[in-house]
């Protein structure tokens, strides 16, 4: 298996070579994300994330996978991925949202108690949620790479995490660093992050599966339309 630094370098090369597609993927997602953050209350924003943003991300990540597999990708491939994986991406988004709500509610409740026991409980629950989120790093790529149900993909992602814990934690931290670096300029985040993360996530998953995207072992699902 390749080192994480090699995967990061491969991602950088893909972003450089496919900069227009990276910009296109990211701007499509940003055009959907920006109104949710600016004009919706928290409840509507969460619903929008679940019903619109997560399925759109699945379409973008699927398009990145096809691009890495050597196919010519257009907007219709994003739409095809969104349609094909809509239910599974919504279910996965619901899972992530529930864990984030658990984290927020833990600190909201236990953080006001003002004693060591409740603080310890909040820290433990934070650790549990973070590990749960890290263990799902490979879920969406597994859905379209191996045509798995969302529960099968989540289970396999956990197995891959347990098999390569240091690699997975390192990959997660790299993604967090990427978010902070691009967040320095809002334009950089909105214009680059989603496309860059799509390539990064696909290359990470291909690596733990001991495959290379151009010589993939799983035939990609054909685009519709």
Domain membership flag for residue 224: no
User: Whole-number mean pLDDT of the chain?
Assistant: 86
Domain membership flag for residue 177: yes
Q: Which residue segment(s) compose the domain that 196 sits in? A: 4-215
Domain membership flag for residue 221: no
Q: How confident is the model at residue 119 (pLDDT cuts 50, 70, 90)?
A: confident
Domain membership flag for residue 222: no
Total of domains in the chain: 1
User: Residue 222: how many CA atoms within 13 Å on its side-chain side?
Assistant: 2
Out of 2-6, 24-28, 88-92, 110-114, which region has the weakest mean confidence (pLDDT)? 110-114
Taking only the tens place, the pLDDT of each residue in 79-112 is: 999 999 999 999 999 999 998 888 888 888 777 7
Q: Is 107 within 8 Å of 127 (Cβ atoms)? A: no
Six-digit token string for 118 = 């409740």
Given CA atoms 188, 190, 191, 196 in this order, what sign does their dihedral have? positive
d(CA 204, CA 192): 18
d(CA 199, CA 68): 8
Domain membership flag for residue 225: no
Identify the residue with better confidence: 214 or 116: 116
Domain membership flag for residue 153: yes
Given CA atoms 176, 92, 56, 101 in this order, what sign does their dihedral have? negative
Its pTM stands at: 0.84
Residue bearing tokens 């670096």: 181
pLDDT of residue 215: 43
pLDDT of residue 118: 81
Taking only the tens place, the pLDDT of each residue in 175-222 is: 898 888 887 777 777 888 899 999 999 999 999 997 434 444 444 444
pLDDT of residue 60: 94
Task: Give the orientation angle of helix 19-39 with respect to helix 54-68, to 10 degrees.
Answer: 170
Taking only the tens place, the pLDDT of each residue in 125-149 is: 889 999 999 999 999 999 999 999 9
């Amino acid at each position: 298996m390749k080192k994480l630094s090699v995967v990061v370098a491969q991602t950088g090369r893909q972003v450089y070579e496919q900069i227009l597609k990276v910009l296109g993927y990211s701007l499509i997602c940003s055009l959907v994300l920006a109104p949710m953050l600016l004009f919706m209350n928290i409840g509507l924003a969460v619903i929008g994330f679940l019903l619109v943003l997560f399925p759109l991300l699945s379409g973008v990540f699927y398009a990145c996978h096809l691009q890495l597999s050597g196919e010519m990708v257009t907007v219709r491939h994003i739409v095809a991925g969104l349609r094909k994986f809509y239910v599974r991406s919504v279910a996965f988004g619901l899972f992530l949202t529930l864990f984030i709500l658990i984290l927020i509610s833990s600190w909201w409740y236990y953080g006001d108690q003002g004693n060591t026991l409740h603080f310890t409980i909040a820290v433990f629950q934070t650790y549990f949620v973070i590990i749960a989120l890290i263990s799902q790093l490979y879920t969406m790529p597994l859905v379209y790479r191996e045509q798995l149900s969302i529960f099968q993909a989540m289970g396999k992602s956990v197995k891959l995490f347990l098999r390569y814990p240091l690699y997975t934690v390192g990959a997660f931290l790299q993604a967090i660093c990427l978010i902070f670096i691009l967040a320095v300029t809002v334009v950089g985040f909105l214009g680059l992050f989603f496309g860059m993360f799509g390539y990064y996530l696909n290359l990470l998953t291909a690596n733990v599966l001991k495959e290379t995207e151009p010589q993939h072992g799983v035939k990609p699902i054909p685009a519709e339309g």
